[in-house]
Chain A
Amino acid sequence: MSATALPPGFDPAQIPPGLAIAQPMPDVLPPVKPRKGFIGFVRRHPTMAIGGFLLLLMLCIAIFAPYLFTKDPTALAPALRTREPSARWWFGTDMLGRDVYSRVLYGARVSLLVGFSVAILASVIGLFIGIVAGFNRVVDSIVMRVMDGLMSIPSILLAIALMALTRGSVQNVIIAITIADVPRVSRLVRGVVLSLREQPYVEAAVAAGTRTPVIMFKHILPNTLAPLTVQATYVCAAAMITEAILSFIGAGTPPIIPSWGNIMAEGRALWQVKPYIVFFPAIFLSITVLAVNLLGDGLRDAIDPRLAKRL
């Protein structure tokens, strides 16, 4: 091999005089190797890492609530009511003498349960409705009119109205918030489906005679999952806030179950003199919602880096 790499069958003698053959560029710059492993992930997606960490922390608190030096969150002690936070009661006690620290920790269970359940249920139902509506004109025109109608009722009011029909229970709260969120999710999925249908690979599948259900669920569905996942995190965050609001105004989780909204509702009457009863659940709620929102922002940026630069 000579110094100049020539294509095979190419005689250097045939090169006209005065023409130089460009030397291949040496690899001056080493290729960019993204750092692998945990630290690399944290560096590339700091928002997702922070959000994920905080959410994991809350999840641990919810799961291990009984072992984190808590007392029975419903145990009454009227003689020891409204004690300020101290070494004995870390977050103080409420107007019935219950330990606020224990109640706040157990409250994480309700919030996370409602947030995750609503996110999963609304995504699955919205995905199904959106895909079917994106493929069937008749279904589309009927279902989407209904969804437009439901969407023009502010979602908290819709959830309040539905809760007025039923008894307060965690299950009913989840159902009410899911119904209020499904229209938005199905609109999103329908939009994505309509744009995906124009893609060449879908046209190719149609041309190849693939049956419609196969196109819907094998070719289209996987491509809706990325935007749907991002949307699901926002639904989750909004659902946790809605649950707290419903409980706060007395139309949500029954008072016997400690949820952050309930604790705040009970602390409301005394908040000017004993603000800590309201503030501790408020801080926990805000951190959890922030964690989910950060996770969502991080996911969105990771899925669509082009958007990340702008939004």
Chain B
Amino acid sequence: MWAYIVRRVVATIPVMAIVALFVFSLLYLAPGDPAAVIAGDQATPEDVERIRASLGLDRPFLVRFGEWAFRIVQGDLGVSIFTNLPVVTMIKQRVEPTLSLMVVTLCLALSIAIPMGVIAAWKQGTTIDRIVMGVAVLGFSVPVFVVGYLLAYTFALELDWLPVQGYTPLSEGIPYWLENLILPAVALGGVYIALIARITRASMLEVLSQDYVRTARAKGAGQTSILFVHALKNAAVPIVTVVGIGFAGLIGGAVVTESVFAIPGLGRLTVDAILRRDYPVIQGVVLLFSFVYVIVNLAIDILYTVFDPRIRY
């Protein structure tokens, strides 16, 4: 068990190194010469050269990468070109709305998608099954912002049930906080729900034809108990895998959802940084999101051992 966990943790190190190398190359390849910008219009080529040397920009790529990586590990992501604030500070200011959105979306998606998939598998081939699978295909195809605008128009503008846009911090009370997050979470969760419902159904179908399910039925276990206790636990590994893989889509979708619903989170920060070409901020956000994605999938790898104790690589 511990050997497996240690091995999984060690395996993420090269992955994060590749991510870091890519993100560093981004700044390295970015158009514009910082030394020339700092030196100004009046500077002679010698001045520019001197500034470049003083900033350490004349040294080889790998040396600069090493220094940069060393600072990253210490938690220093550099300074924004546009606001002159440390990138870490900017990220800290924006992290709550995005985290809230993700958590609410995740809870919502899991609590809708898994029962959907289980019921579709149980009622395989019936109208209920077809409807669930049809909804899943639709969920795949309708992009986040389309669902977002549709929901905001219907439930906020026309029916006036929920606020149109914006974000209320958690400190002002859970009801206000949740009120603002429901529509974005449904919009963002659409693709995720479709993905999880489909894999849940497929995985459950496989498990439901196993002998021990028949045994459970024969010994008189109730239908709910068979579906959600006997079968679901054994169908869990593929489902959990897809939850992890789909998390990438959740991160990408958050960038768009925050634009649609004017939520001041990391997604807005990314979009603003792109429009201003604020490379240190882009770097920081990409690095952070990739790190979160890797950690989520690492956690899921470890979770496998809970669902299937046979897994020992």
Chain A interface residues toward B at CB < 8 A: 145-146, 148-150, 152-158, 160-161, 163-165, 237, 241, 244-245, 248-251, 264, 268, 271-272, 275, 278-279, 282-283, 285-286, 289-290, 293-294, 297, 310-311
Q: Which residues of B contact A164 (CB under 8 A)?
A: 26, 30, 273-274, 277, 279, 282
A286 to B149, Cβ gap below 8 A? no
Q: What would 22 A/B residue contacts be, using CB atoms closer than 8 Å?
A: A148-B15, A149-B14, A149-B17, A152-B297, A153-B19, A153-B22, A154-B248, A154-B289, A154-B290, A155-B252, A157-B286, A164-B273, A164-B282, A165-B29, A165-B30, A237-B140, A245-B255, A248-B259, A250-B271, A275-B149, A282-B145, A293-B137
B63 within 8 A of A: no
B16: chain A residues at CB < 8 Å are 149, 152
| B 1-35 to A, binary, CB cutoff 8 A, 1 in contact else 0 | 00000000000001111110111001001110000
> Within 8 Å CB of B107, what residues of A?
none
Residue of B nearest to A271 (CB): B149
Instruction: State how many angstroms separate the Cβ of A112 from the closest Cβ of chain B.
Output: 15
By a beta-carbon cutoff of 8 Å, the part of chain B in contact with chain A is: 14-19, 21-23, 26, 29-31, 137-138, 140-146, 149-150, 153, 157, 164, 198, 201-202, 205-206, 248-249, 251-253, 255-256, 259, 270-271, 273-275, 277, 279, 282, 285-286, 289-290, 293-294, 297
Q: Are B270 and A160 in contact (CB under 8 A)?
A: yes
The 5 A-B residue pairs with the shortest CB-CB distance in the complex, in nearest-first order: A149-B18, A156-B252, A290-B141, A154-B248, A282-B146
List B contacts of A241 (CB < 8 A): 143
Bound-state Cα–Cα, A146 to B140, Å: 28
Least Cβ distance of A253 to chain B in Å?
14
Contact between chains at B255 and A310 (CB < 8 Å): no
Min CB gap A236→B, angstroms: 12
The residue in chain A whose Cβ has the minimal distance to the Cβ of B253 is A156
| Distance between Cα atoms of A156 and B258 in the complex (Å) | 14
* Beta-carbon contact of A145 and B14 below 8 Å: yes
CB-CB nearest in chain A for B19: A149
A55 to chain B: closest CB distance in Å?
12
Q: Which of A150, A155, A245, A283 contacts B22 (CB under 8 A)?
A: A150
Residue from the set A160, A163, A249, A286 with the largest chain B CB neighbour count within 10 Å: A249
Q: Is the CB of A148 within 8 A of B277?
A: no
Q: A153-B22, A164-B26 are in contact. Are A286 and B146 (CB under 8 A)?
A: yes
Closest CB of chain B to A267's CB: distance in Å? Answer: 9
CA distance A47 to B185 in the complex (A): 30
Q: B255 contacts A156, CB within 8 Å?
A: yes
Nearest CB in chain A: distance from B57 CB, A: 18
Q: A153-B290, A251-B274, A289-B140 are in contact. List 5 more A-B contacts (CB 8 A).
A: A146-B18, A149-B16, A154-B252, A241-B143, A289-B143
Interchain CB contact under 8 A, B26 and A161: yes
Given contacts A249-B255, A278-B149, contact A237 B202 (CB under 8 A): no
Which A-chain residue is minimally distant from B293 (CB atoms)?
Answer: A152
Determine the distance from Cα of A49 to Cα of B292 in the docked complex, in whole angstroms. 41
- A169 shortest CB reach to chain B, Å: 14
- The residues of B that contact A154 with a CB separation of less than 8 Å are 248-249, 251-252, 289-290, 293
